[in-house]
Structure 1
């Protein structure tokens, strides 16, 4: 072995020795004194759920390979698109962890429940991907816009964004036309709504009628009206503002 080789080996051993004593902080430890966001918490395997429960209850954890507990003070925000109550019944999510996380719950309605948001989101994505793809796209034709409003969007906003990116990339004119949209979106429209440019406006008017009628039935009680409509009271207030309805009634 040459002196250079021996030197290289010594240096490598030294680096490995220093690395073995170095400490890399994990996400929980880094979030000390701040906020830890747990996305897709419903996908956590059961063993990890047990460890997370301990962190939430005892406010402490142990580093990998260590037996010394470390105290931690973090605010935890968790998000999921799964039905956690259903997951509890199926045995894939811990009931005690669910109640520990479910201190303040915010329900985000799906895109199919917010048809009035589709044009705003679509226009934003058109602007975003026009710049990214260096194309001059001026907007969306009424026929294509009606198709977007008629589709159910099971993939929510992400699917809408992908559809607009698809249309911008493949489009050949200054406006996104129906044919530019993905086949799944075009073919996924409900039959009664295909080829109906006024569908979006019909949806808006139907929502206004349903909300107004529900409020009349319960003498203006928002909580009871939301229950009749099958939506969260916060969503009802948001819809009233978005649709331009006046909030004349107060909970009683």
Structure 2
């Protein structure tokens, strides 16, 4: 069989493609293997002693069936902890069902939790199972448990004690094989003393309490949290941003009353204002810049170790090009780089309807420089671009 230069090149390309596919599949399998242990702990980022203790407590209680009460300020990640408890438990094959007790009107919460029968109240045109039924065999997460009325607390207490309930408007007793994980940002002990929360329910829930620290109490974890939140932003919204070291030091002196949720919102806001850019201290919101003058200790340059800070401070390169697997006979770098440059110029022209001055601005070039490159690579406007430019 006689091989022409063209057929040899095609065979080489096929071999390279197969090699790349095998490498990707191998890396994917390794990632899946690693994720079996770290799938959810990635959201509990931190090397501080407080977070290591939290992770230890989660694994301790997950294997039991005890009720768990998660305490902490708003935005500290209480639902993340609850999901980790479920994930590492023997109930992980069944559902994790969250309920925000503070977001549901008091007169509808009973129906939401226990379900209702047809005709139980105005608008109940069909029977409907509640969250307890949905979570059968799994975990029911009762967030903002401190917002529950005293009347509803009595009904919840009965389920915890007897493991049965009735739907609203129903007479049949339904068994409940459900693990309860509750959370609140309120002080339930004080509420018990003030007669706002039932003491017997409190003790039923408080079998294994987990107290989450506020972000300001584990500020050493800030660089790692920023890194994680940026990675999540890149994966879910295809946007990115980076922060200078001085910006991170300034951020570390802020109190973060909204905790991790507030930090995530800030990073997303900065990614919108400075897409794929580098945010300096002066770019931060005034409330954070002014905190740099406060007495809060925060972080210092020596606290920012290179490994944890590298992905936070360097601007991500996103060329959209795959990693090159070099053939044995060598590689023509000049030709390869020229092809990349042609592709980028063509994309810039497409995105600006063929207007060379706009494309040049996008690429950070002078108009004459871009025109010269177009002549060099024989790049011409498409007919669509020409007609659009003439509009």
TM range (shorter): 0.5 to 0.7
Instruction: Label 1:92 to 1:185 Cα distance change in 2 as closer, same or farther (>3 A).
Output: farther
Q: Are 1:85 and 2:225 an aligned pair?
A: no
> How far, CA to CA, are the matches of 2:172 and 2:292 in structure 1?
58
Q: CA deviation at 1:62?
A: 1.1
How far apart, CA to CA, are the structure 2 residues paired with 1:200 and 1:28?
51
Report the CA distance between 1:144 and its aligned residue.
Answer: 0.8
User: Aligned-pair distance for 1:115?
Assistant: 1.1
The higher radius of gyration belongs to 2
Distance 1:33 1:182, change over 3 A: same
**Residue 130 of structure 2, aligned match among 12, 26, 41:** 26
Match for 2:284 among 174, 181, 187? 181
Cα deviation for residue 132 of structure 1 reads: 5.1
Q: What is the CA deviation profile of residues 186-205 of structure 1, one whole-angstrom value per residue up to 9, with x for unaligned ones?
A: 334552459x9727839xxx
Structure 1's 173 and 29: CA in aligned 2 closer, same or farther, altered over 3 A?
Answer: closer
* 1:145 paired to 2:254: no
Matched, 1:156 2:259: yes
C-alpha separation in 2, matches of 1:103 and 1:112 = 27
Do the aligned partners of 2:182 and 2:205 also contact (CA within 8 Å) in 1? yes
- Tell me if the contact between 1:59 and 1:72 (Cα under 8 Å) persists in the aligned partners: yes
Q: 1:169 to 1:43 in 2, by over 3 A?
A: same
Tell me if the contact between 1:61 and 1:70 (Cα under 8 Å) persists in the aligned partners.
Answer: yes
Residue 42 and residue 189 in structure 1: after superposition, are their counterparts in 2 closer, same or farther (change >3 A)? Answer: farther
Counterpart pick for 2:168 among 39, 54, 64: 64
**Which runs of 5 or more structure 2 residues have no equivalent in the other structure?**
1-117, 305-391
Q: Please say if 1:120 is aligned against 2:261.
A: no
Structure 2 partner of 1:98 = 202
Stretches of structure 1 that go unaligned for 5 or more consecutive residues are 1-15, 203-252
Cα pair distance change 1:33/1:130, threshold 3 Å? closer
Query: Secondary structure of the equivalent of 2:209?
Result: coil
1:1-252 matches, within 5 Å, as 22-130=126-234, 134-137=238-241, 139-171=242-274, 174-189=277-292, 191-192=294-295, 198=300, 201=303
- CA deviation after TM superposition for structure 1 residue 27, in Å: 0.4
Q: Distance in 2 between matches of 1:190 and 1:43?
A: 38
- SS in structure 1 opposite 2:212? coil
| Pairs aligned (count) | 184
- 8 Å Cα contact 2:252/2:299 also seen in 1: no
Change beyond 3 A, Cα 1:69–1:135: closer
Q: Distance in 2 between matches of 1:190 and 1:37?
A: 41
Name the Cα RMSD after superposition: 2.9
